[in-house]
Structure 1
Amino acid sequence: EVPMLAQAMGAWCCCGDIRSCCQRRDSNACASMGTSGSRQGRTDSGCFTGVGGKTGKESSARSVDRDLQEVEERAGKRVGMVGVKGRYHRLPRKITDDFNTAGKPLGSGYNGTVFSATSKHTKTPCAVKSFALSDFDPDKKKELLGEVEIFLAMDHPHVARLLEVYESETEVSLVMECMSGGELYDRVATVRVFRERDAAKAAYQMLLAIGYIHNEGVVHRDLKLENFLYDAEGSQFLKLIDFGFSKFFSKGDKMNESLGTVTYVAPEVLNKDYCAGSCDMWSFGVIVFVLLSGYMPFNGSSDGDIIRKIRRGTYEMRESRWSAVSEQGADFVKKLLVTAPKERLTSDQALA
């Protein structure tokens, strides 16, 4: 049985409002990592402070290589070295030993190039993201290291899986399972009427992924419609992607990095003073709001307008859209879009 959210959801209609309210990026059908423009609209001020200046290309590459070895060791301690070692490859083993990499480019994003590939052994399609080690500045380095460590430690049906990592003298390649069904964003923007059960399934699957990563001590910090992909065309099975801004945390840890995508970011993140976990539930609340109504709760003519509304928790439930939503469904959203983090639903409470 799907929990209270499923029972709360009424039929809803998306009439395209989201396209005018949310900054759009290009997307690709087979991609498990952020690609073209995936960092647009993020509030990066205060992020990656104190990392240091840029280094020369050779020393940068050596530094990344050294840090990647540490990432491999830490991930191994979390999930077992056998599981990690079997997926992390260094020379002389190359990605071309196991994959046909002449696939079409899927996009070029903040950190690297994404292209399609096929396993030589199973013929399974996948998505590969390659990073040139010589191009790394401190921001890119920190994001890559965090993403690799978290992906290596994740194992859940609703989290996109990192299949293999290949490290050469010049680049690092991440091989991800191919999610060919497209983004939840695109499904929202093109399907004019979602049945109650379809909307409930989407939200429930997202909650399972969020609950899993939180229980594993990971905060995502960039949950949005674009970061949930369907595994196949026509499928209803969603998976969470893009751990570039994610971080391991312990209960009670304070964070002060202001980052995320502005229309989804929690008020406490804007204030650079927050505990991990609750900020993801705010972003999830924004997603559920869109699923139920077809428009973004916080929008404006500028980022400043949006941020002011977020800080105040000011949003409008238009009668024309919310009259078809049950009282329980509207109440669920209200319990997520609470400006006080301690009063906001946790993932466990939402799944109860």
Structure 2
Amino acid sequence: MVGIGVIGTGYWGKNHVRNWKELLSEGVIDELVLCDMDKNRVKELADENISYTTNYKDLLDNNSIDAIDIVTPSKTHFLLGKEALIAGKDVFIEKPMTIGMKKSEKLIDLTEKNDSILMVGHIFRYHSGIEEVKKRIDRGEFGKIYYMATNRMAFSSPRRDMGVMYALGIHEIDLYCYLMDVKYPKKITVSFSSFLQPDVEEIASICMKFDNNVSGYAFESWISPFHTKIRDFILVGSKRSIKIDYLKPQELLLFDGTITSYQYKDRISFDITDEGITKISIPYKEPLNEELKHFISCIKSRKQPLTDMYAGKRAVEMIEKCLNQGHFP
């Protein structure tokens, strides 16, 4: 028996609620209670089988609620996470885990003390395309990996509570380390700019360096007027390369081609092979649904999640140092 309490039913919280409802109907969870300060909003999402409250402490005092799902503004993550852990609940916190590494460390200390589960919502690790890329990396299909690159661009209202580093760049900060199977890169350099609000960056360019001369690049922007929305990822290797369009999650593009260099007399020459692009169809699994099911599995097994609190803390640490110093470490 697993009961879930959701705190926050706003823009992204509604998606959590939709998936929790599915898992409730499938018997994956046994109870669902919603909480939001906006009574009208949370009432619309509740039904005869799902109760609601406007006071999050009602969830903490409810003995039938085993775990709390926190989908609130990032500045509230620490307080709500701390109180949920003190109440003896397992906790899922949307990314970023906290604003500031010290607060993440305090949540880790509390989680370890209580022997609780604390999972962080780094959703792209649960994307079926990324899962496929990870399998192919582990099999060595790409040969020597040269670089990874991501574009997250749109023309939309910037957030007021955080810039693109915490809102978008944290995805690549976490994901590239995961794909390279390391806790930290060797180095991160970042350049960012604020045009519309002081001290809230609307664009950022990130470069991460890993062992074996592997690089990871990312461009994050809320003010790209020629792009309705772009969300893509490519990985380039010595044997083959792959592309994910996150907006077309059932399709991957695999490029079989190479560029090799050799010494010819007194200069470097190149051979190029191009065997074309192959479309790969993969079953679509909603990443958020997979993520929440994984959380339930961890609650039952008491095993550390794929995106555990330590990964969440490291991502916050790297973002914080990038914003404060422009490089890591």
* Alignment TM class, shorter chain as reference: under 0.3
Larger radius of gyration: 2
TM-score by length of 2: 0.24
Q: Which has the higher helix share?
A: 1
Q: Which has the higher strand share?
A: 2
